[in-house]
Amino acid sequence: MSNSLEGKIAVVTGASQGMGREIAKAYASEGAFVYAAARSESKLKSLCDEIRADGGSAELVVTDVTDEGSVTNLFNKAGSAHGKIDIAFLNAGGDPYPESITDSNVKNWLSVVDLNLSSAYMCSKFAIPHLKNSDGGKIIIMGSGMGHNGSSEASAYSVAKAGVWMLTRVLASELAEFGISVNEICPGPVKTPGALESWSKQNNNVSTVGTEWVKESEDVLPLCIFLATQPAIGPTAQSYSLMRRTS
């Protein structure tokens, strides 16, 4: 525990399992007060109990990132309690309906876009007023290589993550004058519960690429901590990738 985030207030969405859970734990271990957000209260309680048992500070906020009122409540709760938010890690997302555009169900396709892109927009929007009170606030968004290269077997997810990358750049430009940096992480394939379920529905998913690095959630943490600890004048509008694919 290096306490590199001592005194920082961090909000992590999608924190009930997978990468979000590990990111929340890592930020708490570095000294941040973590607001862990997801839909599952029982999983969030387990996470916060674990963080506190290890000497960290955390509070759970049951949140549906596709619901405006729920997102507003999350960021207002964290920001009002501390007068600021330093880090908004927008991890929530996934691909529960991997399918081509031709074979897609319209309702399912649009729901994947909402889960990944609309949620990132709303979380950013309602985090901004509180990030402005930080000395170098940070938005870190979980992107995907599919948002840069695309996949016909995951059309909605690919399109949504492409939007996330553009959202990252637009936000970075909009918020530069306030010292708020906005960056994207593309972790490549990570063996999270959601990813494993999605891959099981695809014939040629990214984890089958022989030269790819198929990771555990813990493998992504050094990059997540790196971005959270950069100075206010540090990188923004960047996409950081742990992929080994070139196309």
CB 40 within 8 A of CB 64: no
Q: Burial code of 35-61, b = ≥16 C-beta within 10 A, e = fewer?
A: bbbbbeeebbeebbeebeeeebebbbb
- Residue among 45, 118, 35, 47 nearest 79 (CA): 35
How far apart are the C-alpha atoms of 156 and 140, rounded to whole Å?
21
Type of residue found at 98: P
CA 166 to chain centre: 15
The burial class, CB within 10 Å (0-12 / 13-18 / 19+), for 98 is buried
| Catalytic residue ranges | 157
